[in-house]
Structure 1
Amino acid sequence: MDNNKLLDNPFAVYTPENLTAGQIVSLFVAYPEFSKFEINGHQFIDGHRGSGKSMMLRMMCPDCQSIEKGSFLDIKYFGVYIPIKTTIINNPEFLRIENELGGSVLSESLLTITILSFLFQNLKEHASNFISMHTESSKVESFIHNEIYYSFKYSGVKPENLEFLKKEINNIEEAFADIIKMLDEIYSETVIYIRRRALTKDSVDYNGPLLGFQDTVMNIIDGIQKNNILPNIPIYFLLDDADNLSELQTKVLNTWVSYRFIDKASLKISTQLNYKTYETISGVRIQAPHDFSRIEFTTNRTGSKKEGYLSFLKEIVEKRLELYGINKTAEEFFPSDRNQEIEIKKIEEIIKNKYEKEGRGYRQNDDVYRYARPEYIRLLTQKKSSSNYSYSGFKQLVNISTGIVRYFLDPAASMYSEQQKVNKNVNEIDPTIQDRVVREEAGKLLNDFYNISTQNDRAKAEQYGLSNIDKLQNLINGLGEIFKAHILDELESQRRLDSFTISGNQTQELKDILNLGLIHGYLYKDIRGSRDGLGRETRYVLTRRLAPMFSLDPNGYSGDKSLPADLLQLLMNNPKAYTSSLRTKGTAALNQGDLPLFTEVENDR
């Protein structure tokens, strides 16, 4: 690894900004979507926090690509990583101009300055050597004396503040550093103006520069290409966590997406499923695939590509183990509870022997897959020892992570630390430690609702009753109880459930709560063709990280529950009225009346 320094723990998770290029390349495993994201064109990549978006964007930067490809000359694009969270572009004072005349102009100028600052920082750090060795000095002078000078002059920068751009260029790094300093000064000037406006009711004139994407950024990019400042490659602006932009800034960014310049530059935008709008400044909505393409980074890991995710995580784990000199497969390093697997095998044999007379599936193996592990959990529950079910073994840990890499790595790091307390040289993680950590993580998640609520949420709850966070917590607990009732009912044809579709009309309140669950990772969704072939339907998946809290089997599913919208509404607002009936009647409580509550799907193995 770069700097020849291993991380403290093979499964430790650090933000990509805090890793060196060598460390990122050493740890990185190519995501299935990575090759798609490397092609020209504007793209959105949507996924929950921890799904690996930032790592992928950071891997697209020139320092990482130079290591990966062998040299700077071999990179296919010049990636400029812009982590929105770490900039001051989303400071609260910028909300002051959201609804004011000229706010969009100031917002575009601030956003333009931000990406230009990152562009020149990357040119300074990663391209200076290439420019010094491969670009004629006359071309470098033309680029700075003409394209850069006039781009800023026409944006309103005073000529006397641009005199440094006309000087003889002796050091390209210093030249870029001076440009960055100038951009910082313009940014500071604009921010001070906005802050002053917040302190007076009177209008305040703005006399500073106003930078725009087309007339500033694209002119500079044209200059880069015309003067061979970089190899003949496009520039990718990699905007990470764009949810953190204000609504007006988001509209500015969408306006840029609507422009046609992808042969020279592309915008790669990551979101955490809370992107504020897809409207442009003019009110026109950008659309896929006309203006951009979209990669749903999380959804692709919860459905039909589950096995691909297993292989993907296996490669990540074994690459990290190899770096630490641990010669074990992922399965060997995270072994299952041996006694539990023996008992489940016995149940499998019983099911096989009964199949000819009592089989329910199309094949004997279908029944084994659907019923063996749920039956084992049921028997443990009868003995009042459901907590003894062991959530251990690599495959089971992968399934519990529900398609989010960090939700595997964070618990794995805790397991490694716990195992080190037992034996310093760790060669595998004891199943009891695996199970304990997974249960602790599930408990934290189920009790974390207070932490995701805002002070405003809690204030409203005190004044008006349940907050949205309370309703989400009620809904999640109610869904868990429904799925638990199925796994404990030996007469149910489908016992391994963790997902549902919705029948009936949904209130706006229900839609809002479901969306809140998606944003915070308690729910996932897939959009697919309906079973009757008419239109599309949404399937919601409860995160398998909560499996230990409801004694669920996280190893796949064999059906979707069709739940009425009014039942979900009841669970949100008064769950005890329903879950008490569910506990006494079991799944019979779900089958009152003529509502079609269950839809069978193919086995998800």
Structure 2
Amino acid sequence: MENPFVFDRPNNVSIEQFIKFYIKENIYTKFLESTRNILLIGVRGSGKTSTLRYYSFPIQYANPEVSNKFDVVGIHIPSKHPLFSKREYLLYENNNKKSVVVEHFLCINIISCICETFIESSANLDLTKEIEELILKNLSFILESDFPQNTSLFKSIKLFLNKEANASQRKLNNENFESFIDFSFSFNNTVIPFLEQLKNIPKLKGSHFSLFFDDIQDLGKIHQEIINSWISYRDNKLFSFKVATADIKPSFITSTGGVILEGHDFVKIDLTKRLYNKDSEFSKFAKDVIAKRLVIAKIDSSVDDFLPESKNFRIGLDEGREKAREKAKEKYPNPKGTQINDYVAKYGRAIYFRERNSKANIPVYSGFETLVDISTGVIRNLLTPVYFMYEKQRANSSSDSIKLIPSNI
């Protein structure tokens, strides 16, 4: 049987497998399904890419649990796309010229990702030849360009974008900026008209387009400032941005020197705020992740039974937490709210490990709570040790059925 705790990059997993394994965090659903601009903050492996991919159009359309598949159309835009690595803007010292070049390639990348999304799922749109011809005719008029014929709508636009990217690069490398700027793309003159033309497709007539920028911390400073400028737009009827970053303190500066404001221009979802004690939001989510994989693997065990904790380890942890509680009472003689419990949750385990005899055996990292704690709120860090413990137990066991991972594994 395949190891049910295997972890791969979300974009490497098939749509069917992704839907099968993904655990939806309902606490964020109303924001991620909304037409608001969202900033999703979390360290690598915390589930940012998985979250964005789940709400992307191909996944939502294939998911039987989603009823209104065209209300919000999510477009996943990875920041490691080749077009984002273009460095022609570095040829110029003038910041205005740099900004024009960066926005041009950003727009090409956005439209390219939209095309890739619909090329994969064009059959779901029920496109007719008449509608395709109408959209290409309108875009040809707006952009003053010709589009390849005898191919599908989105493949034609993608070919045009490839040609435009190559032509732009040649102009910039030949220091022909004046020729380039005459036909350079901006969000207002290219992306918005393109999204408006998609409304000619009957199934997209009432759709809102969510543009998902993933791992924006990998982009340059100018790129981020331009995207922030787009986020500052007040009209969210047609489109919105869902931006994911591993930067704990991202920049909110726009390309004009202004700033975007939390609560006004965007809603922030901070995955790093999830605490790691047994009653925390992440702990409950982690238990759901393990439980679902046990069900998929047809392992008839609860999470706590499958990952039992060493009795001696439990006794040691309890002693560490009790010492932490005494220290907390000294530190907070007049505690407010959950100060005592928060201190115990944060330092109890650390006190246990710090005060162990230096000659004692290496402690066993057993039990679900311990795995949650050492994962530091990162699902990848949770699944990786379980994966290897499962493999070791399978190698040690004569049975094909693994019912639990012993605490001494």
TM class by shorter-chain length?
0.7 to 0.9
Gaps of 5+ in 2: 324-331, 335-339
Matched, 1:187 2:179: no
* CA contact 2:310–2:364 (8 Å) conserved in 1: yes
Residue 151 of structure 1: aligned partner: 142
Residue 401 of structure 1: aligned partner: 375
* CA contact 2:286–2:379 (8 Å) conserved in 1: yes
| Secondary structure, aligned partner of 1:39 | coil
Distance 1:114 1:374, change over 3 A: closer
Residue identity matched to 1:26? K
Residue 321 of structure 1: aligned partner: 294
Residue identity matched to 2:14? T
* CA contact 2:276–2:373 (8 Å) conserved in 1: no
Deviates more, 1:424-433 or 1:392-401: 424-433
* CA contact 1:42–1:257 (8 Å) conserved in 2: yes
Distance 1:306 1:403, change over 3 A: farther
Residue identity matched to 1:12? V
| Aligned counterparts of 1:431 and 1:305: Cα–Cα separation in 2 | 18
| Secondary structure, aligned partner of 1:263 | coil
Residue identity matched to 1:330? V
* CA contact 2:107–2:187 (8 Å) conserved in 1: yes
Residue 327 of structure 2: aligned partner: none
Any idea what the Cα deviations from partners look like across 1:83-128, whole Å, max 9, x if unmatched? Answer: 1123331345544447444221111110000000111121222243
Matched, 1:429 2:405: yes
Residue 234 of structure 1: aligned partner: 208
Gaps of 5+ in 1: 1-5, 198-202, 352-359, 434-605
| Secondary structure, aligned partner of 2:372 | helix
Matches within 5 A, 1:22-421: 22-31=16-25, 32-69=27-64, 74-97=69-92, 99-132=94-127, 138-146=130-138, 148-153=139-144, 157=145, 162=146, 164=148, 174-197=152-175, 205-207=178-180, 209-230=183-204, 232-273=206-247, 277-299=251-273, 301-302=274-275, 307-341=280-314, 380-381=356-357, 384-421=358-395
Distance 1:428 1:94, change over 3 A: farther
| Aligned counterparts of 1:285 and 1:343: Cα–Cα separation in 2 | 50
Q: Kindly indicate whether structure 1 or structure 2 has the higher relative contact order, using CA contacts under 8 Å at least 6 residues apart.
A: 2
Distance 1:251 1:55, change over 3 A: same
State TM-score, norm by structure 2: 0.83
Give the CA deviation at 1:361: 9.8
| Aligned counterparts of 1:73 and 1:257: Cα–Cα separation in 2 | 25
Give the CA deviation at 1:67: 2.6
| Aligned counterparts of 1:35 and 1:221: Cα–Cα separation in 2 | 24
Give the CA deviation at 1:45: 0.6
* CA contact 1:98–1:248 (8 Å) conserved in 2: no
Distance 1:343 1:312, change over 3 A: closer
Residue identity matched to 2:207? I
State TM-score, norm by structure 1: 0.58
| Secondary structure, aligned partner of 2:194 | helix
Give the CA deviation at 1:241: 0.4
| Aligned counterparts of 1:30 and 1:276: Cα–Cα separation in 2 | 25
| Aligned counterparts of 2:271 and 2:143: Cα–Cα separation in 1 | 38
Q: Please tell me the root mean square deviation across aligned C-alpha atoms, in Å.
A: 3.3
* CA contact 1:302–1:403 (8 Å) conserved in 2: yes
Point out the structure with max Rg over C-alpha.
1
Residue identity matched to 2:9? T
| Aligned counterparts of 2:349 and 2:249: Cα–Cα separation in 1 | 40
Deviates more, 1:54-63 or 1:412-421: 412-421
**How many residues are aligned here?**
388
Give the CA deviation at 1:277: 3.0
